[in-house]
Copies of this chain bind each other. A is one copy, B any other.
Amino acid sequence: MGEALINGSGAVSNVSALETLGPAAKLTDADPSEIPPASGPGRENAVTISDILERRAKAGRLIAPTASYADSDMFKGPQVGKPKSKSMNHHLSAESLSRHPCALKQAARHLKNPNIISLGGGLPCAEYFPIESITLKVPTPPDFSEAATSQSGAEVRIGKYDATDPSIQGTYDLAVALNYAQASGSAQLLRFVTEHTELVHNPPYSDWRSCLTIGSTGALEQTLRMLCDGPGRRDSLLTEEYSFSTALETAGPLDLKVVGVKMDGQGLLPEAMDELLSNWNPEEREGRRKPHVLYTVPSGQNPTGTTQGLERRKQVYEVARKHDLFVIEDEPYYYLQMPLEESKETESEEETVESFMSSLIPSLLSLDVDGRVLRMDSFSKVVVPGSRVGWVTASENIIEQYLRHAEVCNQGANGISQVILYKLLDEQWGHEGYFKWLMNLRQEYTKRRDTMVTAAEKFLPKEVVSWTVPVAGMFYWLKIDHSQHPGIQAGKGILEVEEEIFNSCIARGVLVARGSWFRAEQDTEPNELFFRATFAAATAENMTEAIRRFGEAIRESFKL
């Protein structure tokens, strides 16, 4: 198995997992006093791309050799006027509190001295890496289509020794990316992600940090193990009453009782959550103590497709403060926020990066004055799922606990994906190009969503099927009025009817997801009937045909 990494050291002074791995990444030619201050906290004083570019120009070339230490603080602007986060240590599980930094990584801080020869860590020599170079063919903004890429895409080459070859003076190369690295992620991609997070969210406390993850699937399990203790503390997990089934399947084996909060067309209902928490009685809850962690998907929620508006998010956050909840904000669909038909006249104006950014509903992270939110971002829905790279953002202390676990449970994101994402997003596109990519992508998904709206309007029997058109994400949530079903009227259960319809769909050649799979409280009886359909995957023609078949199945089942 992987040798712990000790080929370097950190430069910060507190004893932490963050300080130990490799030589600290360095910015050359930098005079810290010249680095311009960020424009300040809050979206009204947002950091801009030109701030970032100026900061980088003054900082000089990033030097980050094999397994070098890096953290967000190296790449954030000055956090002028922001308070420090509040301690959230009382939320941590016994497992998390018992974690210590790796011994071998601690030792590595001695490698700050460049004259030290390391016989410490078993890192293979780059000489034995059997890949001399990797070359990518990628789109050039603003035309991201496959046809344009084929004709005029850019060739991006990553050599083994680009960073140490004086004639290239690269920032990231295969000798570094293919070796062991820090669990926090490479300095190179971490810089991009930190800057991106500052551009979009600019958290309103000073000691926020980001670190890379192996994707949000892994990040959620790590976060649950960090915050929740089922067997020892009888913890529960709050979430929307319908929630991502894999998240439910992650929580179950940790012996966490999942508790669903009522929803409306904007997702989670803060009043319902407040009431639930205010009236929590462990004796009525199998001895479970009052929940202290909320898992929520604010934008394009899976499976319901609902999106919390800004006011809703503020209310959710206030209830979290009132009951001292820690909030896991899972936002894979954040950039797939889509205008509704009626508001599309604004599209005739040319969308700019600035108008795109200001059109995004502020995140819970951007409202988080306390440091009680851990936000999970992912490249899966907006670049490629196969990279298994995402990132989390939270207070320094929480990120440190997260990383201590990451060091022993996955060693962080893989280097091959990191260097490819870095070359594409940072060197080839830059922040501006990446935003343009995201703008293009949400246009594509808007078209797909609209295809499904049209098909649903045309083929679904509105007397029993209703829906809210989603304004974000990939999912259409179809409510079926089960009370009109002849079977229900004759005494059948909702699950039975759901299964009949599902099987009838399969027989007709369409696979949809059963709503009951997503019920937070699997041990209670359902009193509603839903199906989930995605508009992400099928072609327009197939999607329309599939909805037609689904409508047929409903009509037959309801004898319409």
Contacts and interface: CB of A to CB of B under 8 A. Distances in A.
Interface of A is mostly: mixed
A115 B546 CA distance: 11
B511 A116 contact: yes
Nearest to A150: B132
A10 interface: no
What is the copy number of this chain in the assembly? 2
Contact of A302 (B122, B220, B535): B122
Contact of A475 (B103, B122, B150): B122
Interface stretch (A48-56, A94-102, A267-275, A365-373): A94-102
B117 A542 contact: yes
Residue with the greatest number of chain B CB neighbours at <10 A, chosen from A7, A119, A133, A514: A119
Contacts of A7: 537
A113 B506 CA distance: 9
Interface of A: 1-4, 6-7, 95-96, 98-100, 102-104, 107-108, 110-111, 113, 115-125, 127-139, 144, 146, 149-150, 153, 160, 177-181, 214-221, 231-232, 244-247, 249-250, 252-255, 302, 330, 332, 376, 378, 380-381, 383-390, 405, 407-411, 413-417, 420, 424, 437, 441, 444, 474-475, 506, 509-514, 517, 533-538, 542-543, 545-547, 549-550
Contacts of A111: 511
B414 A119 contact: no
Nearest to A389: B414
Contacts of A119: 510-513, 533-535, 537-538, 543, 546-547, 550
Nearest to A506: B110
Given A132-B139, A386-B414, 15 more contacts: A1-B380, A3-B381, A96-B253, A99-B253, A103-B249, A104-B245, A113-B506, A117-B543, A120-B513, A121-B537, A123-B536, A132-B153, A177-B386, A178-B385, A218-B411
A137 B131 contact: yes
Given A178-B387, A545-B117, A144 B123 contact: no
A415 B441 contact: no
A256 to B, nearest CB: 11
A178 B384 contact: yes
Q: Give the 7 A-B CB pairs with smallest separation, nearest first.
A: A386-B415, A1-B216, A388-B414, A119-B533, A178-B386, A178-B384, A117-B546
A513 B129 CA distance: 25
Nearest to A149: B132
Contact of A511 (B117, B388, B444, B510): B117
A551 to B, nearest CB: 12
A437 B135 CA distance: 23
Contacts of A514: 107
A2 B385 contact: yes
A215 B385 contact: no
Contact of A215 (B2, B252, B506, B512): B2
22 contacts: A2-B216, A2-B332, A3-B474, A6-B513, A98-B252, A100-B252, A103-B249, A117-B543, A117-B545, A119-B510, A119-B513, A119-B534, A119-B535, A120-B513, A121-B534, A123-B385, A130-B149, A135-B136, A178-B385, A215-B410, A218-B411, A385-B415
A411 B388 contact: yes
A175 to B, nearest CB: 10
A516 to B, nearest CB: 9
A397 B274 CA distance: 44
Contact of A1 (B132, B330, B409): B330
B132 A138 contact: yes
Contacts of A102: 245-246, 249
Given A180-B385, A180-B386, A136 B138 contact: no
A538 B138 contact: no
A193 to B, nearest CB: 16
A120 B534 contact: yes
Contacts of A125: 536-537
B104 A381 contact: no
A136 B128 contact: no
Contacts of A3: 244, 246, 302, 332, 380-381, 474
